[in-house]
Structure 1
Amino acid sequence: MTGRLLSLNVGTARPDPARPGEHTGITKERVPRAVVAAPGVAKGPSGVAGDFIGDVAHHGGDLQAVYAYAAEDYAFWSGELGEAVPHGTFGENLTTAGLDPSHALIGERWTLGPVVLEVTGPRVPCATFAKRMGVRGWVKRFTAENRTGAYFRVLEPGTIEAGSPVEVERPGGHTITVDRVFLALMGDLEAADACLDAGVLPEAIAQKIARKAARRRR
């Protein structure tokens, strides 16, 4: 499977509308190329050089080193909201064409030139995202559609260039997709059981799903 990187986006520090006195990198600007490397910690830095992470407790780090969103899903949201939603609005580093990050398999590998990325899980909407969008009930709306985009870890570092082809290698042996993991994280017990039974999730995500499922069952 092959797609294309339409734009490569990097965010600089700007005031966070949801956290007074704090800063966010959700507002991205297009760049022609960027160095990508594994941050090396569970949380904290971005895997994309120059990309600012403000809320390091919930964003960044190895499992959220790079974020991708599909141009096709932007087209959907533009129709839903009745106005054009420019690429990069959702804070993604990679805006793609011909690929479906929200339905990627966990462990799926994307190759962009020398860089190899591996799908780790979904984006979970937060207050900063909601404030940026300025749409009433945005978190519930985004959650209901389950067009989350995908987070990646960096397996092979290097330089990514905008416009590059994206080669996709899908793993065998399971059917756990990003959107299914999102359902599990939102408390769907059937999805949680399927995701945990498959044994393919990063440990931190599996533990989070297991804790939420246990609380719901109690």
Structure 2
Amino acid sequence: MPDVETIEITRAASEPAIAEGTCMDVEAVCAMADVHADDGAVGVTAIDKRPTSFPVTVHALGIRGDIQADRKHHGGADKALYAFAQGEAEYWSAVLKHEIPFGFFGENLRVNGSVDAFEFGARIRLGEVEMEATGPRTPCMTFARWMGRPHFVKEFSQRGRHGVYFRVLKAGKIEATDRIEVISTPGHGVTIADWVAEPTVERAEALLESQRAGRLSIAGYAAKYVNAVAGRRNA
């Protein structure tokens, strides 16, 4: 990748967990538009998502017709849909000095609200679909190459707002005119943004205790990190 202008990243401020009953507008529902060549191990990327103009069906693995090229690290039941905040897209648009169109960060849902403030295990309703927040995106070099910035993994991580993955609890149809409604939260208080900012022993233990109490089912991709952090208590 060519040399790029250095940018200054402002760490996002801490926010309280989003409460049950909160509603958010969805700006766009996006699915894969095209597959692009990529220098990574897979050779192609399906990060290029674009808005749909009609209701789409969501099943256990996400939006019908959407795909992931690197299925080792992306997709699957615990990463069925990816949501990103409109406010964060506007932040990056200002910093990078170019538009961040709907779907450009690979998101399926562009949301007018602080999605990173969802608790792990928060359940939402969108149209006919019910979903559960499972954890944050882990930015990768495919993302950096797509952005044309060799250090974008570090830059994106410095901001601390990675967006959130969802698993699908109830299939159905969604469209951009639908609103997100938070239908329940586990109550442990650990948000996606909290964990990205500081994955402490105390936060890991709160997640594990919520799981033992039956209020949370930690996704497999997140569980290995949660268990590793909790293990520091006895290290």
The alignment's TM-score, normalised by the length of structure 2, stands at 0.79
Shift of 1:94: 0.6
Corresponding position of 2:153? 139
For 2:114, give the aligned amino acid.
D
From 173, 190, 197, the equivalent of 1:159 is 173
Q: Which moved more, 1:163-172 or 1:105-114?
A: 163-172
Q: CA deviation at 1:197?
A: 4.6
Q: Which residue of 2 aligns with 1:75?
A: 90
Task: Give the stretch that moved more between structures: 105-114 or 65-74.
Answer: 105-114
Give distance in 1, aligned partners of 2:152 and 2:159: 11
Deviation at 1:163, TM superposition (A): 1.9
Give yes or no for the alignment of 1:27 onto 2:48.
yes
Question: Does the CA-based 8 Å contact 1:8-1:31 persist in structure 2?
Answer: yes
Task: Give the conservation status (yes or no) of the 8 Å contact 1:37–1:157.
Answer: yes
Question: Is 2:194 the partner of 1:206?
Answer: no
The answer to whether the 8 Å contact 1:16/1:128 transfers is: no
Q: Which residue of 2 aligns with 1:37?
A: 59
User: Counterparts of 1:209 and 1:145 in 2: how far apart (Å)?
Assistant: 21
Q: Structure 1 unaligned runs (5+)?
A: 40-46
Counterpart code for 2:107? E
d(CA) in 1 for partners of 2:99 and 2:141? Answer: 22
Deviations 1:35-91 (A, max 9, x none): 10113xxxxxxx111111111111111110011111111111112222222221110
What whole-Å deviation, never above 9, does each CA across 1:147-187 have from its counterpart, x for those lacking one?
A: 11110010110111122122122414310111223346xx6
C-alpha RMSD over aligned residues: 2.4
The number of equivalent residue pairs is 208
The runs of 5 or more residues in structure 2 that have no matched partner are 1-21
- 8 A contact 1:183–1:191 mirrored in 2: no
User: Aligned pair in 2 of structure 1 residues 213, 174: CA closer, same or farther (>3 Å)?
Assistant: closer
Structure exhibiting the larger radius of gyration computed from Cα positions: 2
Q: 1:24 to 1:212 in 2, by over 3 A?
A: farther
Q: What is the TM-score when the length of structure 1 is the normalising length?
A: 0.84
3-state SS of the aligned residue for 1:90?
Answer: coil
Q: Would you say the 8 A contact 2:140–2:153 is kept in 1?
A: yes
Contact 2:122–2:133, Cα closer than 8 Å, also in 1:
yes
Question: What SS does the aligned partner of 2:63 have?
Answer: coil
What are the residue-to-residue correspondences of 1:169-184 with 2, within 5 Å? 169-183=183-197
Q: How does 1:45-84 map to 2 (within 5 A)?
A: 47-84=62-99
Structure 2 Cα separation of the partners of residues 134 and 189 of structure 1 = 36
3-state secondary structure, aligned to 2:166: strand
Aligned position for 2:11: none
Instruction: Give the C-alpha shift of residue 193 in structure 1.
Output: 4.5
